[in-house]
Amino acid sequence: MGILAQRTGRDVLSEVLSSLRLEGRIFCRLQVGAPWGFRTPDDGLARFHVLERGACWIRATHGNALPLSAGDLVLAFEPHQLSDGPKSSTIPMDEFLGRSPIGSHAEVHRRGRGPEVQMLCGAFRFGQGEAHPLLAVLPRLIHIKSRSGDTPKWLDLTLQFLAFETRHPRAGSESVVSGLTELLFTQAVRAWIEDQPEGRGGWLGALRDRQIAQVLGLMHGEPARAWTVPALARAAGMSRATLARRFATLVGEPPLRYLSRWRMHLAADLLRAQSMSVGEAAARVGYRSEAAFSRAFRSVMGTAPARFRRAASVPRQGPSGGGHGARGAPIGGEA
């Protein structure tokens, strides 16, 4: 299949997830009785909630209230509200939690007169911001529904491991919990992809098309190579016109424009994580001209590569301010 080894769509997803530099943590297991309701802060963190028992409602900033049932998983990439009813009043999350302990092994209890819910709550931080190709295509809220109250098998197994580690802490538990929450994210994204109708889901949905997935794999496998549409078409066994049309339809942009954006995200990682010079990063992603690279980088990342590199060299601090979710500590101690 061409001069390069064929890569699958799964390979592409793995590479993109790796570049996201995800950090995930549990911040509490919540058990609360109605009436109740809280809203999360706008602090740049994504959050997830797994409803272990009972029922409740979630409302994202720009959406309608959605019911959650036992066994459901929800990932929210923007501030949201959780409550016992679709129109229940809410208070800020730090006020709701008060002085309750926060962390992988914390259990927060609030008694009420009405039905109780029990849920596992956690947060994600991403090394790259919302311009990352993965976050740009995902919806602001992903809802993985249980089937007739039965948790999906993959979620059930992950939760069993999480429950054991959070309730029986020992040496290495924090590392295990972090890995399991990151696995939770990966599994949820895969489930969302599989649930998308044909032709939907942007480049993630395109991974289900064998030939387009192969083209994406080629670009991700050797991003610095001087790819052309004819070369990609030959490698995938397609005509140039068919590739251009199908890629644009499924991915939402022409092949070489997608490749350029992916190169810039790789370059951002090089500038940030390895402190490379701008010229070195440009060469690593296939640019001989530093000026051309700088123009492309600015168009995708919104800033010049040299300025991005200087900003990335400043040690990253946790969100500042008081309350849960805005502590100065690493994400492991945040809400």
Domain C-terminal end among 195, 221, 251: 195
- Read off the CATH number of the domain in which 297 is found: 1.10.10.60
Residue 59 has a pLDDT of 93
Asked if the structure places residue 275 within a domain, the reply is yes
Domain C-terminal end among 195, 210, 242: 195
Please tell me whether residues 189 and 212 are part of one structural domain.
Answer: no
Domain C-terminal end among 179, 195, 211: 195
The tally of domains found in the chain comes to 2
Please tell me whether residues 64 and 186 are part of one structural domain.
Answer: yes
Residue 15 has a pLDDT of 82
Asked if the structure places residue 326 within a domain, the reply is no
313/277 Cα distance (integer angstroms): 12
Asked if the structure places residue 246 within a domain, the reply is yes
* pLDDT tens sequence across 188-223: 988 888 888 776 777 888 888 889 999 999 999 899
Please tell me whether residues 255 and 308 are part of one structural domain.
Answer: yes
Residue 34 has a pLDDT of 95
Please tell me whether residues 161 and 35 are part of one structural domain.
Answer: yes
Residue 126 has a pLDDT of 84
Q: Which residues of the chain have pLDDT under 70?
A: 1-10, 101-105, 128-131, 147-151, 199, 274-275, 314-335
Asked if the structure places residue 173 within a domain, the reply is yes
Please tell me whether residues 175 and 43 are part of one structural domain.
Answer: yes
Please tell me whether residues 181 and 292 are part of one structural domain.
Answer: no
Please tell me whether residues 32 and 60 are part of one structural domain.
Answer: yes
Whether the bond between 255 and the residue before it is cis, its omega within 30 degrees of 0, is no
Asked if the structure places residue 138 within a domain, the reply is yes
247/273 Cα distance (integer angstroms): 31
Please tell me whether residues 34 and 146 are part of one structural domain.
Answer: yes
- Read off the CATH number of the domain in which 92 is found: 2.60.120.280
Please tell me whether residues 245 and 302 are part of one structural domain.
Answer: yes
Asked if the structure places residue 87 within a domain, the reply is yes
Please tell me whether residues 213 and 301 are part of one structural domain.
Answer: yes
Residue 145 has a pLDDT of 87
Domain that holds residue 291: 9-14+201-312
Please tell me whether residues 156 and 219 are part of one structural domain.
Answer: no
Q: What does the buried/exposed string (b/e) look like for 304-327 if buried means 16 or more CB atoms within 10 Å of the residue's CB?
A: ebeebbeeeeeeeebbeeebbbbb
Please tell me whether residues 85 and 218 are part of one structural domain.
Answer: no
Asked if the structure places residue 82 within a domain, the reply is yes
Residue 29 has a pLDDT of 86
Asked if the structure places residue 334 within a domain, the reply is no
Residue 199 has a pLDDT of 67
Phi (first) and psi of residue 238, to 5 degrees: -130, 165
